[in-house]
């Protein structure tokens, strides 16, 4: 609850009058300009404050000279020194304990609008935040991370749309938030200012703590007294949120030693991506010290595992500060409160997630993540960040206010035309970021530059990237200003940019842009799954996917197909061959969430056969078939042109128990390290397939290096009923041997005639462990024919 002093401050500073104020245009005369009655404005202010103390309903005839009608903020581009006297100008104090007193303004406290966020200076820290619609801005300072109220509330000064102030004596590790004053008129113009809400800094470099609501709606910017009232979001909340908000942390940013680190710039053609949940990767590793599990430092300990597997890039699911407590759901079976396990709910875009830090969240997460990036680079592994610029954690009109809503709602978000109280939503998450608003566009560019330049991040995967195709009015455009700006930015010339080329209303696979952007190829996923499970008529499309989807991606323009069979949002590889249907009951949505069309096949039994009522031989048979199907999909992934991406844990048969939308399931997103020894066969197969891909330069082949075959050489069958595909890859690189690859999705064996040449078998997914894949030195010489068993694939190496 607000203190009496804070309430008094608000009443004094929120002064409404029908009489136009006399506004000082020359700030050097601030507080000393003489009004028509012969008094200085300082005298007027003190007199008005005494009258307010006697009568709280009193409203002044004139506003305080130069001050916003809703705050102590001052609009100026000049200094705080009187031009004639050289003395500091004076202003009213906003210290709750000294309301109405007049205190000098030191020239230094004006600060600069040049650098948004908190910047350490010679004297202290400069703070700057952009807000076009605000009528005033406060800087809130805190003595500790868990402080329930601010130790100081300082007015900020306005230059253009930037509010700024320097505070001498502050240092790295100090805590702060902002509070914006202005109109709450969502139905008129989309404005949602509310001086009861402390706000995170959009340019904040670290955040400590999490939102901790008490159940009275502190996190909401609107009046939720009656949750059933459909118009409640049109009225501002009167509940202060300071006590439940996380805090921004001032960061030095220059105290990390990057010595020896350099960009790897691995070509996309040579890249092997591992999509992973950073927390989940080590959270269940019992061999690791408990305080390191699920952390940046914990992941460092597992880099040898990634290197040994052959990974060249990790694609980290969101590690920007996100809202983990956004779910009100519980697991219906256990009663457990569910949390956001994926991170696609960003609160602070320039701050690494603090809960992934082992050493603390008061800024330690910054250097911990930098240490992880450097350690990965030392092992020739690049870092690709999954970024979510399409929406934020603030949700729909009934969602919380953490930052953007309270700073400039009608600029940061796309609002429904003629209904500005509503959000345009193509993300399914309640709002859509207005990425082509000039201010927001600059924010996105600054954020990408920051992660690349300060953290040495090598690339970005853009979640629901087609939200970028919406102009500032929500209209679709082929090429919007934000896309042009990213593509023309010299600093991004060698960065990997990967688009998820769809959202809930648009599908732009192969057409997201004409340069620079690679794309998640959802059609590779669907076609591979359909073929492997035995659907007819897939061979023609599959051939195009194997060739790198050349009709969609021109690698000469830097555009590559990112191929995958599984990703975080869907079945794992093991579940793909173990379930016909999704099993998402644990999510608390009565199994209504998640995709119903998974193109999966359970191989004859739904789920684990461990406790199934069937003979043991039948269980073994089903599991062998599942293993074979997984190896078929892994083989197709690594034998195809483009850039392969695999999901964390697929190499050890990780399962989510049939849950294909485990966004709020911490445990299901964890790497099951106990499965590594149990499923060493699958791990070995995956590792050797990656080695085979690299040795034969699959990623560097050209479409004309490929010839297509059927049961006879050069007679491919792309008919509607076909379930067999074969091709030969013959790279022109000296010393790289040709490969013959064939996959049989029929229930019957097929005898094939091999192309001319001498062939030796490297892979046969039907063979037992140790024979299913071998190196070139152990390859088995063959004649001119080979019988490919049902639902299996082969890879032969030529001379």
Number of C-beta neighbours around residue 731 at 10 A: 18
Q: Residues 660-693: pLDDT tens digits?
A: 999 999 999 999 999 999 999 999 999 999 999 9
Q: Tell whether 521 is covered by a domain.
A: no
630 inside domain: no
CA atoms of 29 and 192, how far apart (whole Å): 33
Task: Kindly state whether residue 617 falls inside one of the protein's structural domains.
Answer: no
Q: Could you give the CA distance from residue 486 to residue 435 in angstroms, rounded to a whole number?
A: 12
pLDDT tens per residue, range 420-446? 999 999 999 999 999 999 999 999 999
Asked if 725 contacts 742 with a C-beta cutoff of 8 angstroms, the reply is yes
The whole-angstrom separation of Cα 561 and Cα 269 is 10
Task: State how far the Cα of 723 lies from the Cα of 632, in Å rounded to an integer.
Answer: 13
Give the residue carrying structure tokens 């200085």: 40
Q: Is residue 738 part of a domain?
A: yes
For the annotated catalytic residues, the residue numbers are 463, 500
In 196-291, alpha helices (H)? 278-282
pLDDT of residue 652: 98
752: which strand partners?
786
Residue 206 falls inside a structural domain: no
Strands of 246-338, DSSP E? 247-249, 273-276, 313-316, 320-322
Assigned domain for 791 exists: yes
- Cα separation values, 384 from 343, 353, 514, Å: 15, 16, 21
Tell me the C-alpha distance between 215 and 104, whole Å: 42
How far apart are the C-alpha atoms of 393 and 381, rounded to whole Å? 30
Beta bridge partners of 497: 460, 517
Count the domains in the chain: 1
Q: Tell me the DSSP string of 545-578.
A: HHTT-TTT--GGGT--EEE-S--SSS--HHHHTT
The residues of the chain scoring below 70 in pLDDT are 1-108
Name the residue range of residue 751's domain.
701-798
What would the pLDDT profile of 361-372 be if each residue is shown by its tens digit?
899 999 999 999
Phi and psi angles of residue 441, each rounded to the nearest 5 degrees, phi first: -60, -45
Residue 752 belongs to domain with CATH number: 2.60.40.1180
Q: Cβ distance 194 to 401 under 8 Å?
A: yes
Q: Does residue 101 lie within any of the structural domains?
A: no
| Gap between the Cα atoms of 786 and 776, Å rounded | 18
Whole-number pLDDT of residue 328: 80
Q: In Å, what is the CA distance from 620 to each residue of 589, 623, 626, 627, 650?
A: 34, 5, 10, 10, 20
Report the alpha-carbon distance of residue 136 to residue 68 in Å, rounded: 6
**Is 29 inside any structural domain?**
no
């Amino acid at each position: 609850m607000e203190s009496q002093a804070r309430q008094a401050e608000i009443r004094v500073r929120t002064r409404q009058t029908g009489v136009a104020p006399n506004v000082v245009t020359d700030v050097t005369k601030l507080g000393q300009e003489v009004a028509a009655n012969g008094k200085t404005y300082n005298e007027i202010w003190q007199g008005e404050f005494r009258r307010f103390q006697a009568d709280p309903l009193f409203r002044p005839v004139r506003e305080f000279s130069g001050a916003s009608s809703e705050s102590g903020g001052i609009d100026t581009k000049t200094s705080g020194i009187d031009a004639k006297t050289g003395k500091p100008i004076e202003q009213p104090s906003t210290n709750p304990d000294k309301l109405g007193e007049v205190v000098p303004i030191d020239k230094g406290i004006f600060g600069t609008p040049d650098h948004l966020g908190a910047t350490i200076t010679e004297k202290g820290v400069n703070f700057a935040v952009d807000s076009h619609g605000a009528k005033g801005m406060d800087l809130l300072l805190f003595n500790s991370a868990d402080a329930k109220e601010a130790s100081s509330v300082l007015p900020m000064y306005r230059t253009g749309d930037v509010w700024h102030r320097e505070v001498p004596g502050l240092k790295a590790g100090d805590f702060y938030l902002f509070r914006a004053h202005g109109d709450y008129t969502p139905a008129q113009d989309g404005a949602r200012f509310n001086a009861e809400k402390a706000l995170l800094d959009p340019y904040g470099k670290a955040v400590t703590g999490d939102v901790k609501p008490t159940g009275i709606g502190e996190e909401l910017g609107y009046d939720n007294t009656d949750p059933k009232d459909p118009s409640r979001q049109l009225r501002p909340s009167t509940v202060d949120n300071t006590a439940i908000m996380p805090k921004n942390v001032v960061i030095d940013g220059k105290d990390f030693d990057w010595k020896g680190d350099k960009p790897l710039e691995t070509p996309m053609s040579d890249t092997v991506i591992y999509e992973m949940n950073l927390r989940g990767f080590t959270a269940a590793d019992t061999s690791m010290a408990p305080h390191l599990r699920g952390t940046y430092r914990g992941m460092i300990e597992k880099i040898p595992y990634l290197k040994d597997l052959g990974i060249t890039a990790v694609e980290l699911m969101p590690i920007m500060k996100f809202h983990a407590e956004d779910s009100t759901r519980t697991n219906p079976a256990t009663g457990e409160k569910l949390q956001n396990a994926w991170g696609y709910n960003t609160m602070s875009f320039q701050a690494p997630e603090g809960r992934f830090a082992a050493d603390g969240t008061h800024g330690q997460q910054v250097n911990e993540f930098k240490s992880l990036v450097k350690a990965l680079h030392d092992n020739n592994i690049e870092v690709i960040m999954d970024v979510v610029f399409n929406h934020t954690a603030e949700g729909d009109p009934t969602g919380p206010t953490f930052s953007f809503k309270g700073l400039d709602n009608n600029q940061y978000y796309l609002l429904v035309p003629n209904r500005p109280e509503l959000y345009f939503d193509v993300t399914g998450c309640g709002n859509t970021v207005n990425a082509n608003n000039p201010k927001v566009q600059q924010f996105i560019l600054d954020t990408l530059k920051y992660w690349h330049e300060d953290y040495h991040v090598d690339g970005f995967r853009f979640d629901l990237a087609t939200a970028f195709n919406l102009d500032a009015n929500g209209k679709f455009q082929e090429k919007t200003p934000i896309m042009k700006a990213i593509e023309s930015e010299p600093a991004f010339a060698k960065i990997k940019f990967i688009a998820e080329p769809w959202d809930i209303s648009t599908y732009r696979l192969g057409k997201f842009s004409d340069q620079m952007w690679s794309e998640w190829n959802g059609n590779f996923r669907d076609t591979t799954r359909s073929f492997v499970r035995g659907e007819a008529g897939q061979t023609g499309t599959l051939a195009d996917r194997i060739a790198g989807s050349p009709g969609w991606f021109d690698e000469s323009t830097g555009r590559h197909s990112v191929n995958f069979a599984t990703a975080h949002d869907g079945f794992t590889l093991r579940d793909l061959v173990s379930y016909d249907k999704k099993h998402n009951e644990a999510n608390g949505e009565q199994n209504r969430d998640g995709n119903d069309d998974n193109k999966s096949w359970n191989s004859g039994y739904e789920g684990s056969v461990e406790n199934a009522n069937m003979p043991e031989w039948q269980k073994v048979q089903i599991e062998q078939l599942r293993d074979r199907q997984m190896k078929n999909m892994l083989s197709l992934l690594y034998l195809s042109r483009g850039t392969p991406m695999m999901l964390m844990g697929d190499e050890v048969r990780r399962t989510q128990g049939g849950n294909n939308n485990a966004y709020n399931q911490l445990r299901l997103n964890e790497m099951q390290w106990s499965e590594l020894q149990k499923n060493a066969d699958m791990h070995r197969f995956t590792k050797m397939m990656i080695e085979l891909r690299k040795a034969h330069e699959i990623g560097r082949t050209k479409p004309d290096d490929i010839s297509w075959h059927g049961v006879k050489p050069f007679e491919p069958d792309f008919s509607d009923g076909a379930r067999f595909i074969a091709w030969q890859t013959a790279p022109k690189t000296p010393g790289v041997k040709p490969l013959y690859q064939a996959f049989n999705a029929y229930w019957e064996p097929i005898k094939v005639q091999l192309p001319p040449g001498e062939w030796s078998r490297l892979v046969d997914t039907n063979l037992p462990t140790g024979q299913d894949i071998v190196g070139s030195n152990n390859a088995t010489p063959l004649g001119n024919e080979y019988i490919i068993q049902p639902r299996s694939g082969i890879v032969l190496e030529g001379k």
